């Protein structure tokens, strides 16, 4: 696995999606493998990560990073081996996770490395999942922004997903009531049986407001919002005074151009003294090690459950983001190369 391949297969963006990126927006291109220059290294990707944020990367609207250019390699996290190095900090054989893009081989100057995978028994793919970015997102989003107190009720949307399932479990570890919102009876069962939620509700079924109220008899103190849209409108109406809303994702909205309309939130925010706060994990990069240590401890103690959904082969990449937004994955979605 540490050999440099002859050909670099790259998933490139060939058309600008208006909403969710779909197969027609991508092509797989074969290019020669580049040589690492001074201060650079070659990373042979083993797993590509599929993340909701990639919709934003592909869109030509205001975001926290510039859009992927047309004919550019799709931006995305990956996990790989260093197979050649002229970089002082990385030697051949090191395992790294970073923004290496959706391709077989990436040239990296180290600035796109998120962390080096430590030695240990955990399977490599866990570092895209339970010990990876989504879980770090859950950790800082919930504890750093949501700040739930012991005994409070935490509601999570996309509750069975990679971030959501970790939020629910971290909420439980911190003594909260955890309530998940997810789509379909299979995922509802996964939430309560595998991820330890106290209750889970199905947003695809009728009567979400009533189901949520029944699941949250003391109201909602913290809402970890991965969806926005109508689901979040429903949760907002059930927030307690002084509640906090961690805005982490907008999976429910398929296009932001033109901006979709919804009920105005300012009055609810005012009369309930809510705090609605946006969250982007990159702001916490200096503290990843701290989160990974906590997560590894909880994993070792048996407090964290984990599901992964692995697609075999780069040919699945063009449809993977759509699959994620349609909620067809059962756990953290990755592509094995």
Binder of its own copies out of 13, 248, 314, 321 (CB under 8 A): 248
Distance CA 131, CA 308 (A): 12
CA neighbours closer than 13 Å in the CB half-sphere of residue 336: 10
Q: How far apart are CA 324 and CA 327, in angstroms?
A: 5
From the list 267, 286, 301, 302, which residue makes contact with its own copies (rule: CB under 8 A)? 267
Stretch that binds its own copies, among 74-82, 115-123, 255-263, 319-327 (CB under 8 A): 255-263
Which of 34, 118, 151, 273 lies at the binding interface for its own copies (CB under 8 A)?
Answer: 273
- CA 85, CA 41: separation in Å to the nearest integer? 4
Is residue 148 near its own copies by the rule CB under 8 A? no
Rounded to whole angstroms, the Cα distance separating 319 from 325 reads 10
147 binds its own copies (CB under 8 A): no
Whole-number Cα distances in Å, 263 to 23, 112, 206, 231, 260: 33, 39, 20, 12, 10
Does the footprint of its own copies cover residue 131 (CB under 8 A)?
no
- Cβ proximity to its own copies, 194 vs 280, nearer residue: 280
One residue of 63, 238, 254, 328 binding its own copies per CB under 8 A: 63
Collapse the DSSP code of 240 into the 3-class scheme (helix H, G, I; strand E, B; otherwise coil) and give the result: strand
| Helices 162-173 + 288-300 axis angle, to 10 | 70
**Is residue 262 part of the contact set for its own copies (CB under 8 A)?**
yes
Stretches 29-37, 148-156, 214-222, 252-260: which one binds its own copies (CB under 8 A)? Answer: 252-260
Shortest distance, position 128 Cβ to its own copies, whole Å = 22
Tokens (6 digits) for 319: 């449809």
- Is residue 143 a contact residue for its own copies (CB under 8 A)? no
Task: Supply the Cα-derived Rg of the chain in whole angstroms.
Answer: 20
Which of 3, 38, 270, 302 is close enough to bind its own copies by CB under 8 A?
A: 270
Using CB under 8 A, pick the residue from 277, 303, 305, 328 that binds its own copies.
Answer: 277
Query: For residues 94 and 239, which CB has a smaller minimum distance to its own copies in the complex?
Result: 239
Binding flag, residue 249, its own copies (CB under 8 A): yes
Among 24-32, 71-79, 116-124, 260-268, the segment contacting its own copies (CB under 8 A): 260-268
Coil, strand, or helix at residue 200?
A: strand
The 3-state DSSP class for residue 42 equals strand
Dump strand ranges (E) for 50-110.
78-85, 95-98, 105-108
Cis status, amide bond into 206, omega within 30 of 0: no
State yes or no: residue 266 binds its own copies (CB under 8 A): yes
Asked if 247 is part of the footprint of its own copies (rule: CB under 8 A), the reply reads: yes
Q: Are strands 220-225 and 239-247 parallel, antiparallel or unpaired?
A: parallel
Give Cα separations from 162 to 35, 49, 91, 173, 227 (angstroms): 35, 11, 30, 17, 13
Taking residues 182 to 221 in sequence order and writing x for each that binds its own copies by CB under 8 A, - otherwise, the string is: ----------------------------------------
Among 6, 121, 150, 264, binds its own copies (CB under 8 A): 264
What does DSSP assign to residue 75? P
CA 287 from chain center: how many Å? 17
Report the site for its own copies in 281-310 (rule: CB under 8 A): 283
- Identity of the residue, 14 or 143, whose beta carbon is nearer to its own copies in the bound complex: 143
Bridge partner list, 202: 182
Per CB under 8 A, which of residues 215..244 are in contact with its own copies? Answer: 225, 228-229, 232, 241
Residues binding its own copies (CB under 8 A): 56, 62-64, 225, 228-229, 232, 241, 247-250, 253, 256, 259-280, 283
């Amino acid at each position: 696995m540490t050999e440099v391949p002859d050909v670099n297969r790259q998933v490139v963006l060939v058309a600008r999606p208006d909403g969710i990126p779909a197969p027609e927006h991508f092509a797989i291109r074969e290019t020669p493998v580049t040589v690492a220059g001074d201060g650079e290294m070659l990373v042979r990707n083993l797993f590509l990560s599929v993340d909701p944020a990639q919709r934003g990367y592909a869109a030509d609207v205001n975001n926290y990073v510039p859009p992927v250019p047309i004919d550019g390699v799709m931006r995305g996290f990956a996990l790989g081996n260093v197979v050649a190095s002229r970089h002082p900090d990385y030697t051949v054989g090191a395992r790294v996770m970073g923004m290496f893009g959706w391709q077989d081989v990436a040239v990296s100057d180290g600035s796109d490395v998120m962390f080096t995978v430590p030695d240990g028994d955990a399977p490599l793919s866990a570092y895209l999942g339970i010990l990876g970015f989504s879980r770090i997102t859950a950790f800082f989003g919930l504890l750093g922004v949501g700040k739930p107190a012991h005994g409070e009720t935490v509601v999570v949307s996309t509750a069975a997903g990679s971030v959501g399932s970790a939020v629910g479990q971290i909420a439980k570890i911190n003594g909260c009531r955890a309530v998940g919102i997810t789509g379909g009876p299979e995922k509802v069962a996964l939430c309560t049986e595998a991820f330890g939620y106290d209750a889970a509700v199905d947003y695809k079924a009728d009567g979400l407001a009533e189901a949520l109220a029944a699941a949250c008899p003391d109201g909602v103190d913290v809402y970890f919002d991965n969806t926005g849209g109508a689901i979040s409108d429903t949760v907002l109406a059930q927030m307690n005074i002084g509640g906090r809303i961690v805005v982490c994702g907008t999976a429910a909205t398929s296009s932001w151009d033109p901006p979709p309309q919804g009920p105005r939130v300012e009055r609810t925010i005012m009369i309930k003294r809510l705090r609605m706060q946006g969250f982007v994990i990159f702001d916490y990069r200096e503290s990843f090690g701290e989160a990974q240590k906590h997560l590894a401890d909880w994993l070792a103690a048996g407090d964290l459950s984990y599901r992964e959904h692995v697609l075999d082969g780069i040919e699945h990449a063009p449809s993977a983001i759509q699959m994620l937004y349609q909620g067809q994955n059962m756990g953290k979605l990755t592509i094995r190369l």
